[in-house]
Amino acid sequence: MRKCLILIILALMCLSCDDKSSKKVIVLKLGHGLDNKHPVHKAMERMAELVDEKSGGTLRVEIFPSEQLGNEKECIEALQLGYLAMTKTSSGVMEAFVPMIKVFGLPYLFRDSEHFWKVCLGDIGKELLDAGSKTKGLKGLCYYDSGARSFYSKDHPINTPADLQKDGKKLKVRVMNSPMAISMVTTMGASPTPIAWGELYTSLDAGVVDAAENNPPSFQLSGHYEICKFYTLDEHVRLPDMLIISTRVWEKLSKEHQVILKEAVDESVIVQRKLWEEAEAHALDVVQKAGVTVVRPDKAPFQEAVKPIWDKYKGTELGKLAEEIIKEGK
């Protein structure tokens, strides 16, 4: 019922026109699940400001954070139906819509942030952004930095993959509804439990799950550090956030508005990368002052634990793409 109501609302809101003045104003609705203090949200706010400035007010972007218009999966589906113009989503959720996006979920694919951005801003990154345009109705506009994801837990630190079990029982680890994330946590020896981001705080508090994994700003801004007092910086995967627009909506925009929107988006990426760097440092400072033990483990045992995943994709189209990405970092 909730999803049906959201779709009806979006159908009325998606791409509207305002004729109160002598000029026609196109309004694009952008829904996402992040808090309005998150650096990605702030960057998108800047993007919206730039769109308004560059278009002379003839194109506007209205942003609805905190799952007001649905969770990530629901927003992507709304884009495909043409009910919503734009959304920000994790690449992990996009896997279900554009299979080759799975490559970002391969654990320890990127050497570091520099390697990650070299790929995202290069030919491979551009091809992946456009991979869903023709077949899925989803056009990628840019990547936003979402840092490296790491484990956090309630009862004990995770120093090695062996700590993903306790007293012979596998820890229940919250993951996104992503095949790659589920496979990674299973291979490391824990029990993956897909739960919507907005439901995770109460799930941790109630003991539905024992642990989760995400980047430092998300760990801090979500308040999960109030429950989970151990944060292990194993940095197992770098999943970018992706800004997506419905191809139905994109094709209705004039060429001038398309150029303006893309310019504003590209400028927002520069803003977001700086905000992200500051947010990561701030988040780690906040959680440690709140009593969280931050662990910086030897990553080698974690890398060894996920080798079966790499073996599974060896020789496949996705595996060959991963090899190209690795070469980009050399």
Buried b (16+ CB within 10 A) or exposed e, 79-90: bbebbbbbbbbb
Cβ of 68: how many Cβ atoms within 10 Å? Answer: 12
Domain boundaries, the chain: 2-145+240-279, 149-238+282-328
In this structure, what token pair is assigned to residue 197?
């981001």
Q: Give pLDDT tens digits for 181-229.
A: 999 999 999 999 999 888 999 999 999 999 999 999 999 999 999 999 9
Q: What architecture is domain 149-238+282-328?
A: 3-Layer(aba) Sandwich (3.40)
* Same fold yes or no, 2-145+240-279 and 149-238+282-328: yes
Alpha-carbon gap, residue 24 to 18, rounded angstroms: 6
Pick the CATH number of 2-145+240-279 from 3.40.190.170, 3.40.50.720, 2.40.50.180, 3.30.365.10: 3.40.190.170
Are 242 and 98 in contact by the 8 Å Cβ rule? The answer is no
Strand segments (E) across 44-159? 59-64, 86-90, 138-144, 149-153
pLDDT band, residue 3 (cuts 50/70/90): low
Q: According to the 3-state scheme, what is the secondary structure of 134-164?
A: HHHCEEEEEEECCCCEEEEECCCCCCCHHHH
- Average pLDDT score over residue span 108-117: 96
At 23, the pLDDT band (50, 70, 90 cuts) reads confident
**Taking Cα atoms as reference points, which of 195, 40, 186 lies closest to residue 107?**
186
pTM of structure: 0.90
* pLDDT tens track for 294-310: 999 999 999 999 999 99
The overall average pLDDT reported for the chain is 93
